[in-house]
Amino acid sequence: MRCIFVVLNFIFIFSGCASKPTAVEAPPTITVWHWMTDREPAFQKLAKDYQAQSGIKVNFELYAPSDAYSQKIRVAAQGENLPDVFGILGETRDFAAFIKAGHILDLTPYMDAHSGAWRNSLFNKALAVNEFREANSYGVSAGVYGVPLDVTTIQMLYNKDLFIELGLDPEKPPLTFKEFLEIGKKIEQADMQGLVSGWGETWMIDCLVTNYAFNVMGEDKFLATIRGEVLYTDPDWVRVFTIFKEMQESGVLAGGIVTMINKVAEQLFANNKAVFAFNGSWCVNVYKGMNPNLNYAAMLPPKVADEYPIAIWGGAGSSFMVNARSKNKEQAVEFLKWLTAEKQQAYLAEATMNLPANKESLEKIPGILLQFGDDMDLVTHPNTWGVSEFPLVIEAIDRGIQSIIIGEKTPEELAREVQEIKERELAKKR
Amino acid sequence: MKIKPTLENYMFVLPAVLIFAVFYIIPFIWVFQLGLFQWDGISPTRVFVGLGNFKEILFQDKIWWQSMRQAGYITFIALTFQNALAFLLAWACAREIRLKNFYRLIFFIPPVLSEVVVGLVWQWILDGHYGLLNNWLAQLGFANLARNWLSNPETALTTVAIAHSWKGFGWGFLIFLAGLQTIPREYYEAARVDGANAWHCFKSITVPLMIPIAVLVGILTILGTMQAFVLIIAMTEGGPAYHTQVPVLRILASMRGSSRFGYACAQGITFGMILVIISFIQYRFSRQYRRI
């Protein structure tokens, strides 16, 4: 009996080692982790379409809010459990760290295949956000590491109805900073709310600082400051910080803007309670949901100086990356090619009111969204600069601008303080 | 012969020791170890900086100490205003009043609400232009007191502290109420027979017997309030400027905003040690008080 048991055991053990009977391999399932709550229904629909066409199942998994998503991605990266496709919500240095840790596939060969057909179908500025150039300061090998899903630009908006109430021409938004400040006085006299934005979340302050830094000193000097070649105490930087003081003094900023979260800002603007807003192109969808009758238009931030053009933050709104360690990476790349093709992009733009990353789909989007798309030439983004500022310096600028607005610091004091932090960080790096 | 019972005793406490080690001691050591490195949380390599992160926290990071002072201020408001309110309401509900069960339920609603929701509701109440508070002040003839409560550096921290106290007083209320109900009725009856009035009963019976409970509530308030951050994020995001920053927000800023995981770990350890020291002092103080 004992003998039979031992023999049976052997049979069971070695049957496990035997080669499996040949069977048709099931198509893989591509797993995508995303954070875009508003796009979830559209993604699910596209996943079904893709399965019907290719036989490959795409599993979109939503993890929101974005903070939680970000954290999940980091933890998954540490445990090497990233899905086939994912996004990175962070700054360029985070993106670079993921690439250097071997988590992200270099998509350059796929982009350049067939005479660069995939690359050429996408907006250059959107692609640039996912691209690292030769000799970048992050030490990342040159290449394209992400696929833009849509395009975002952050601009100013004005309420046409409130413009009429203020006795202004609704078709003539202010072009110069002087005109903008003049409107501020009218807003204050009419006891209205001026510019609303999520400046409590600080990163939007950073956007506007960059816009005006480009306008006042030009891109080269701006980047030289980041490299540590120009001081923040330079008169041009003091001028940039002074812009916020002037805005506050003119009455063009809404009360409480320094602690305002963007959702509140969006509610105020959508409900005709603020004349101006500083917001991203995603707002078209948000405002539509809050007040479909809102009568508004997009405008560039009014220029302070004429020598250099104003820049606006933008580029890829959301991007997807392919896990370099995934066994389904080829299928994942194919799926992303399909997702960014003209038809799917047009559907996404229509369903989610976001600017498509595919150039050919732009013709099919609604008018107000097109106003955001018109200024793609002026777009800049930290990912495209090749250098990045120390986070502590950025925080000091953003919080310092809040201090200027509440009258706690002067632009000169802020400039000195930021430069001190910059020097401390540079010393640490050395 | 003596080894066996000793071993048996150790075996009984072993599961608890193991759980404590796995979930508290090992993570603590690990976080401390990470605090000795410069690390972005993603890269496979870390740069050893020794106690450099701790040195920076202690001697260079002014914002960290500002956040500690601000957390201390919110804690002070919680210890005084919040706990006094909790005690008074518990004392009122412990007496034979009408609808006392209804009040107990009402007072315990704020602690069970989501902090984010509470923060957003308070933000709406305190809004400078459309907020209820300023509207009420104007209707009552105090329009000159109306202001942007959350974006004014003079009022932001106190406003956040009051909102935090409103959110948190229910816990103290519940513990005080439980404590008050354990005081034997006979003490009060005997005191009344001896001619004591309500104030004498409160001063000579209720207060002394509630001191251990007050110490417990005090410790829980300090630990809970020093670590508060969700409500603050929802109300002010730590602004304006750094006026409502608290230590946990600074740790989050280091970890998420700056990708300085090593520094954030060092901040976490420093903060934890400060809380341990405060709790230890409070414990010693309460022991002395009980002896008196």
Complete DSSP assignment for B163-229 = HHHHHHHHHHHHHHHHHHHTS-HHHHHHHHHTT--HHHHIIIIIHHHHHHHHHHHHHHHHHHHHT--
Burial (CB count within 10 angstroms: exposed 0-12, middle 13-18, buried 19+), residue A93: buried
Residue A17: pLDDT above 50? no
Q: In this predicted model, what pLDDT tens digit does every residue of B247-266 receive, in sequence order? A: 999 999 998 888 899 999 99
CB within 8 Å: B240 and A193: no
Decide yes or no: CATH 3.20.20.370 for domain A153-313+387-429: no
Question: B212 to each of B85, B226, B290, how far by Cα in Å?
Answer: 18, 21, 8
Preceding omega of A65 cis (within 30 degrees of 0): yes
Which contacts (CB < 8 Å, 24+ apart) does range A337-343 have? Answer: A337/A110, A337/A118, A338/A50, A338/A53, A338/A54, A339/A46, A339/A50, A339/A147, A339/A149, A340/A118, A340/A121, A340/A122, A340/A147, A340/A148, A340/A149, A341/A121, A342/A121
Task: For residue A101, list chain B residues with Cβ-Cβ distance below 8 A.
Answer: 42-44
Mean pLDDT of chain A: 90
Report the percentage of chain A scoring pLDDT > 90: 70
Q: In this predicted model, what pLDDT tens digit does every residue of B76-111 receive, in sequence order? A: 999 999 999 999 999 988 887 788 888 888 888 999
3-class state of residue A66 by DSSP: helix
Q: Residue A42: name the closest of A287, A285, A265 by CA.
A: A285
Q: Beta A312-316 vs A379-380: how paired, if at all?
A: parallel
Q: What is the ipTM for the molecules in this complex?
A: 0.85
Rounded Cα distance between A170 and B141, Å, is 38
What are residue B223's phi and psi, to 5 degrees?
A: -65, -40
Position A19 scores a pLDDT of 47
Rounded Cα distance between A284 and B72, Å, is 43
Whether B9 maps to a domain, the answer reads no
Tokens matching residue B210: 């509630």
Between residues A332 and B94, which one has the greater pLDDT?
A332
Position A147 scores a pLDDT of 96
Position A134 scores a pLDDT of 87
Q: Looking at the DSSP assignment, which residues form a beta bridge with residue A158?
A: A276, A297
Task: For residue A97, list chain B residues with Cβ-Cβ distance below 8 A.
Answer: 40-43, 259
CB within 8 Å: B150 and A395: no
To the nearest whole Å, the CA of B129 is away from the closest chain A CA by 7
What would the mean pLDDT of A209-214 be, rounded to a whole number? 97
Domain range summary for chain A, segments of one domain joined by +:
29-151+316-374, 153-313+387-429
Q: Beta A276-280 vs A150-159: how paired, if at all?
A: antiparallel
Q: In this predicted model, what pLDDT tens digit does every residue of A346-395 receive, in sequence order? A: 999 888 888 889 988 877 677 788 888 778 888 898 888 888 899 999 99
What are residue B129's phi and psi, to 5 degrees?
A: -105, -40
Residue A1: pLDDT above 80? no
b/e string for B184-201 if b means 16 or more Cβ within 10 A?
A: eeeebeebeeeebeeeeb
Q: Residue B241: name the closest of A199, A402, A421 by CA.
A: A402
Residues near A260 by beta carbon (within 8 Å), at least 6 away in sequence = A196, A197, A198, A199, A200, A254, B151
Task: Return the biggest CA–CA distance within chain B.
Answer: 85
| CATH number for the domain running over A29-151+316-374 | 3.40.190.10
Residues near A16 by beta carbon (within 8 Å), at least 6 away in sequence = none
Position B136 scores a pLDDT of 94
Burial (CB count within 10 angstroms: exposed 0-12, middle 13-18, buried 19+), residue B286: middle
Sign of CA dihedral B57, B62, B67, B72: positive
Rounded Cα distance between A420 and B47, Å, is 24
Numbered residues of chain A with Cβ closer than 8 Å to any chain B Cβ: 67, 70-71, 74, 77-78, 90-91, 93-94, 97-98, 100-101, 103, 193, 200-202, 254-261, 264, 273, 391-392, 395, 399-400, 402-403, 405-406, 408, 424
Task: For residue A70, list chain B residues with Cβ-Cβ distance below 8 A.
Answer: 256
Position B248 scores a pLDDT of 96
Position B257 scores a pLDDT of 82
Position A298 scores a pLDDT of 93
Task: Return the biggest CA–CA distance within chain A.
Answer: 102
Whether B80 maps to a domain, the answer reads yes
Rounded Cα distance between A111 and A22, Å, is 36
What would the mean pLDDT of B176-185 be, rounded to a whole number? 92
What are residue A298's phi and psi, to 5 degrees?
A: -90, 150
Q: In this predicted model, what pLDDT tens digit does every residue of A143-166 receive, in sequence order? A: 999 999 988 899 999 999 999 999
What would the mean pLDDT of A295-315 be, rounded to a whole number? 93
CB within 8 Å: A408 and B241: yes
Complete DSSP assignment for A122-184 = B-HHHHHTTEE-TT-TT-PPSEE--EE-EEEEEEEEEEHHHHHHTT--TT----BHHHHHHHH
Task: For residue A201, list chain B residues with Cβ-Cβ distance below 8 A.
Answer: 237
Question: B144 to each of B134, B147, B148, how far by Cα in Å?
Answer: 9, 8, 12
Q: For tokens 């309420």, name the residue.
A: A159
Domain range for residue B274?
Answer: 62-287
Lowest mean pLDDT among A202-206, A238-242, B28-32, B283-287: B283-287
Position A111 scores a pLDDT of 96
Position A186 scores a pLDDT of 94
Between residues B157 and B43, which one has the greater pLDDT?
B157
Whether B40 maps to a domain, the answer reads no
Q: In this predicted model, what pLDDT tens digit does every residue of A69-89 receive, in sequence order? A: 988 998 899 888 999 999 998
Identify the H or E element spanning A429: helix A411-429
Position A369 scores a pLDDT of 81
Position A9 scores a pLDDT of 52
Q: For tokens 């496709």, name the residue.
A: A85
Position B289 scores a pLDDT of 65
CB contact at 8 A, B149 and A252: no
CB contact at 8 A, B44 and A101: yes
C-alpha atoms less than 13 angstroms from C-alpha of B264 in its C-beta half-sphere: 17
Q: Residue A400: name the closest of A233, A176, A180, A283 by CA.
A: A233
Matching fold, domains A29-151+316-374 and A153-313+387-429: yes
Q: Beta A276-280 vs A312-316: how paired, if at all?
A: unpaired
Position B96 scores a pLDDT of 76
CB within 8 Å: B259 and A202: no
Whether B159 maps to a domain, the answer reads yes
Q: Looking at the DSSP assignment, which residues form a beta bridge with residue A297?
A: A158
Rounded Cα distance between A383 and A379, Å, is 12
CB within 8 Å: A408 and B239: no
The count of structural domains within chain B is 1
Position B140 scores a pLDDT of 93
Burial (CB count within 10 angstroms: exposed 0-12, middle 13-18, buried 19+), residue A338: middle
Between residues A382 and A246, which one has the greater pLDDT?
A246
CB contact at 8 A, B223 and B275: yes
Question: A244 to each of A253, A258, A298, B35, B267, how far by Cα in Å?
Answer: 9, 11, 21, 38, 33
Residues near B78 by beta carbon (within 8 Å), at least 6 away in sequence = B161, B164, B165, B168, B221, B224, B225
Q: In this predicted model, what pLDDT tens digit does every residue of A116-137 receive, in sequence order? A: 999 999 988 889 889 998 888 8
pLDDT band at A4 (very low <50, low <70, confident <90, very high): low
Tokens matching residue B216: 């417990």
